[in-house]
Amino acid sequence: MFKHFHTIIFITLLLGFSLITFHSQAQSYYGYPQRDLSMGLTINPNIGWMRYDDDRYSSEAKVGYSYGLLADIGFAPNYYFSTGFMINTLESSLNSGSHSEIAARDYRLQYAEVPIAIKLKTNENQYGRFYGQFGFTAGVKVSGKEKYEDANSYSKIDGDAIVRLGLQIGAGAEWRISNSLHFLTGISYNNGFTEALKEGSPKLSYLGLQFGLLF
């Protein structure tokens, strides 16, 4: 009986040691530490368009881009305050349609923007993690240009708004490259709710892709 008791104790200790070792290895492989602060660089192609309430006006979507810095600041497990600084170039066109009094033209509007959002991230594994975010962007006009149908170059717009505000929703993934480096991919929709121009009072929205590096 005493001999069997020693055997049971030995097997129990061996199993316990094996489980602890496996747990430690699993923690080092899957239990990646939560980082309270991540900063990075991003470049984002987008498709922008104007939304008019007046039926006389119609818009055609055009390709633009943005680039800049971003930062994710953790305030609870998997919850982050996301912000940054972006230079955002949005392009769109105004169609004349059957209204001869409206001149067709292309617009190029550029803003210095600060995104402010709440970002929710999944637990990280060996491949990375996914995220979703919701917030808004606040932008100040850097430049505004237009080009009429028969013109060869852009000229300054007369009557574009100085401030642009928009609601933004998006989702994506942070792909793990190393312990301190992730490749960011995502998609977002930004719904502008302030007037971009005086003529026709359009609101400027865009759909964007996101590519970046998080350090």
Residue 106: CB atoms within 10 Å = 17
Sign of CA dihedral 47, 48, 53, 54: negative
Measure the CA–CA gap between 177 and 168, rounded to whole angstroms. 27
pLDDT at 86 over 50: yes
Measure the CA–CA gap between 122 and 88, rounded to whole angstroms. 28
> What pLDDT score does 31 carry?
54
pLDDT tens column, 189-198: 999 999 999 8
> What pLDDT score does 95 carry?
86
Helix, strand counts (H, E) of the chain: 1, 9
> What pLDDT score does 158 carry?
78
Q: Report how far Cα 4 is from the mean position of its chain's Cα atoms.
A: 63
pLDDT tens column, 122-134: 999 999 999 999 9
Pairwise pLDDT comparison (97 vs 150), residue with the higher score: 150
pLDDT at 209 over 70: yes
pLDDT tens column, 88-112: 999 999 987 666 678 889 999 999 9
Q: How many residues can be counted in the chain?
A: 215
